[in-house]
Structure 1
């Protein structure tokens, strides 16, 4: 079965990268939340999976796992779900494939995948050109704050204002990340002017 071989390839990647061991560290409730977010993302209900925020909460609970490892797990699980949806796998077919493909996948992870897929698997619709559509990131949120630079190594008293902007974006794989940058007041005014120009163009569409 093509779907089965695709799942096997994903799980070989999981084993090779040690992600299965990392899944074993994640408590069942956090892994369930990760799977829920992935399903919602595949259903276009949320722009992406906030692995950074989830990783921080897992670390706060005393589990040592990096955001890169969690992102890798999210990508693999997302691939598993989208492959299963594309091939209309039933819950039993998916679990059987997972069970035959890799023995290292923790039992609690299989239980979560079984439950999530049984409850929501049929709701996922993966179009043939879905992969082609997701070639750029998606804007999620923007935050900004005004600051004043007081001093530097070469100048004791600067006191010039600047704007710090944080853009929250979902990359093509569905991972949500923050991009932060600073602008001088003239740069920010130019930035604002370009947004006004975009808004004016959009009003004519």
Structure 2
């Protein structure tokens, strides 16, 4: 019965997300999206935790980490598959019927604004095989790489495309 357990786990995370106000959810998602767009070196879960506590939402550390991981994986997956905001929301609704409409609206708006940039960053990372983490804690390990001239020219072209996409956001 792993599927039922997975569904229960998703519903539990969604229940915890539903305790967030739209502004608090947007703030947490902004941290995650900044990371996925390559603007920060990691997700600052301590800062998200402080915001959640200041907002009066009581979650234990494990529950909050599950929320952060769920949002991170959701956005990362949507970026890799180049999903539209409508597709993202549809997949979330398929995964759980417990989503509050206000939460889905926040996720739809943020993905509409940042999805293209996340997708471009995902493509770049796949090309370079970088931004890998060693542990779920988010400890980042450094990678170096070598490229042939044609590979570098392709990298340069993709980097310019990513910069153009980021300018439109």
TM range (shorter): 0.5 to 0.7
- Residue 130 and residue 33 in structure 1: after superposition, are their counterparts in 2 closer, same or farther (change >3 A)? farther
Equivalent pair of 1:14/1:73 in contact (CA under 8 Å): no
Q: 5+ residue gaps in structure 2?
A: 141-169
Matched with 1:120 is 114
Equivalent pair of 1:47/1:170 in contact (CA under 8 Å): no
Q: Which has the higher helix share?
A: 2
Equivalent pair of 2:33/2:114 in contact (CA under 8 Å): yes
The one of 152, 156, 171 equivalent to 2:139 is 171
Which one has the largest radius of gyration?
1
How far is the alpha carbon of 1:38 from its aligned partner? 0.8
Does 2:125 align with 1:135? Answer: no
- Aligned CA RMSD, in angstroms, stands at 2.8
The one of 78, 83, 99 equivalent to 1:105 is 99
Ranked by relative contact order (alpha carbons within 8 Å, sequence separation 6 or more), the top structure is: 2
Q: 5+ residue gaps in structure 1?
A: 1-7, 138-168, 173-205
Q: Scaled by the length of structure 2, what TM-score is found? A: 0.66
Does 2:86 align with 1:92? Answer: yes
Equivalent pair of 1:15/1:104 in contact (CA under 8 Å): no
- Residues of 1 paired with 2:42 and 2:133: CA distance? 14
Matched with 1:199 is none
How far is the alpha carbon of 1:84 from its aligned partner? 1.0
- Residues of 2 paired with 1:132 and 1:105: CA distance? 34
